[in-house]
Amino acid sequence: METSVGIVTTEYAEFDLELRLESGRLLGPITLAYETYGTLNDRRDNAILVTHAWTGDAHAAGRHHPDDRKPGWWDGMIGPGKVLDTDRFFVICSNVIGSCKGSTGPTSINPRNGRPYNLNFPVIMVRDMVRAQVLLIDRLGIDRLVTVMGGSMGAMQALEWGIHYPERVRSIIPIAGTGRTSPMAISLNAVARQAIYNDPLWKKGNYRPEHPPADGLALARAIGHISFLSDASMQMKFGRRFSARDGQFDFFGQFEVERYLEYNGGSFIDKFDTNSFLYLAKALDLYDVAFGFDSRREALSQLQCPSLWFAFTSDWLYPPYQTEEVVEILRELDKPVEYHLIDSAYGHDSFLVEPEKFTPKVVELLDRLTAEK
């Protein structure tokens, strides 16, 4: 019977070192916030790393307090008897560097001057996030992961693990991902950035935490949120319904979809730091699996383990063809690759809304890997 992992605690790993980033800059010391679910076995070979999306965090399952209104962001996936069965696996989720959810990021104190980094924080790439995760996996005494699994930016991390640390992973499961961010996705982030830059409270990143550029961040989040949805999901959820509280000919009257975006953006400003939002958006824009290689083909040739890929029919942020381009190269290279196009109306967010449509294939892979040990 499926049950929750219960009450969980976020832990913090401190690393008194300097990590060399892709930019050439050094970042340190480093803190990584993480949570674990299940038990690491005596052989230390049953660990799974779950990687989060853009504004996600380490709290993937369970609750921090019995009164918490919501559990972790992938609670339906992680726990006894669930897809990532904590009776079998030791599941780890860490917050990425650059974030504001416990790991080192722009809100952290710069040891050189004792003040928050703000825009003195170095530009990071997805590959740098993975380098930091390797420190954590080493600290936990794990040589090899059963799989690295995540959606969106989490899919990028999974692919980077497979390419740069092939000896450390037995498989990867990238969901709703891409091999390189498209001009359209970059343009959406560019508009979101301008919304923040044009907020007078942003002050070139030197805003006071108690007075963030709320209007700019709320608008930036609303722009991003549109890209997570789809025409079909908006039709289902809102249609062309006009807000019941407004008159249709009131100039400032709103459709329900407008009110939803306003609410979603407004609630986000209390949950996430503006500079962290910008730094992670930059990391997404910079993502290209071929960075540092002569081609995508050369990069993907480094992948040795089986990879299980999922794309969603209505995803227009990272549409299926972008996953299929990567899968096709892997097939040409005769790599062990499996791909499934999932029919879903929920756009990019499908991997969070309808996981039951793809999870049976995940269970099949995990069962196969377990049987092969």
Instruction: Assess whether 348 carries a catalytic annotation.
Output: yes
Closest to 50 measured CA to CA, from 105, 7, 113, 93: 93
Determine the length of the chain.
373
Enumerate the β-bridge partners of residue 309.
Answer: 339
CB atoms within 10 A of CB 297: 13
The single residue of 4, 85, 314, 348 carrying the catalytic annotation is 348
Of the candidates 327, 305, 308, the residue with the CA atom closest to the CA atom of residue 372: 305
Q: What type of residue is 189?
A: N
Q: Is 221 annotated for ligand binding?
A: yes
Burial (CB count <10 Å: 0-12, 13-18, 19+), residue 190: middle
User: Which H/E stretch holds residue 236?
Assistant: helix 231-237
DSSP 69: S
Is 315 considered catalytic here?
yes
**294 touches 324 (CB < 8 A):** no
| Tokens read off for 253 | 């009257």
Q: Exactly one of 171, 230, 315, 350 is catalytic; name it.
A: 315
Which helix H or strand E contains 229, and what residues bound it?
none
- Annotated catalytic residue: which of 4, 99, 103, 152? 152
Specify the residue for token string 């049953």.
Answer: 46
Q: Where are the beta strands (DSSP E) in the chain?
A: 11-15, 19-20, 26-27, 30-37, 47-51, 78-79, 84-85, 90-94, 109-110, 115-116, 147-151, 172-175, 307-312, 337-342
Mapping DSSP to helix (H, G, I), strand (E, B) and coil, where does residue 163 land?
A: helix
115 is in an annotated binding site: no
Is 94 assigned a catalytic role?
A: no
Q: Which residues are catalytic?
A: 152, 315, 348
Binding residues for substrate: 221, 349
Binding residues: 221, 349
